[in-house]
Amino acid sequence: MDSSQIRVFTPSSLLSFFVPILALIYAVLGRNFLFLDYVHVITGGTWTGIDLFMGLVMSRVLRSLDPATRSQIIMRLTP
């Protein structure tokens, strides 16, 4: 697949982007501070998990690849 055919936004990526935002809006407008705390903890934990995965796992995988393949993966991850 060449770079002109790479889809940056897929339905699942849009869903994972908008669900936390909608949950935040719901919690603030509904003045439900327990739900707001829940949204904060879940999204923060998810962000930390993704950060650790990219730092620990992907760095080791990328290190073992040749530079051309590594470049293609990095271009795919950072549009």
Check residue 6 and give its pLDDT: 62
Q: What is the pLDDT of residues 12-51, one digit of tens each?
A: 888 888 988 898 899 889 998 898 898 889 889 999 999 9
What's the predicted TM-score (pTM) here?
0.57
- CA dist 79 and 4 (Å) reads 12
DSSP 8: S
Check residue 44 and give its pLDDT: 92
Give the DSSP letter string of 11-78.
HHHHHHHHHHHHHHHHHHHTT-HHHHHHHHHHHHHHHHHHHHIIIIIIHHHHHTS-HHHHHHHHHHH-
Q: Rounded to an integer, what is the distance from CA 46 to the centroid of its chain?
A: 8
Check residue 76 and give its pLDDT: 83
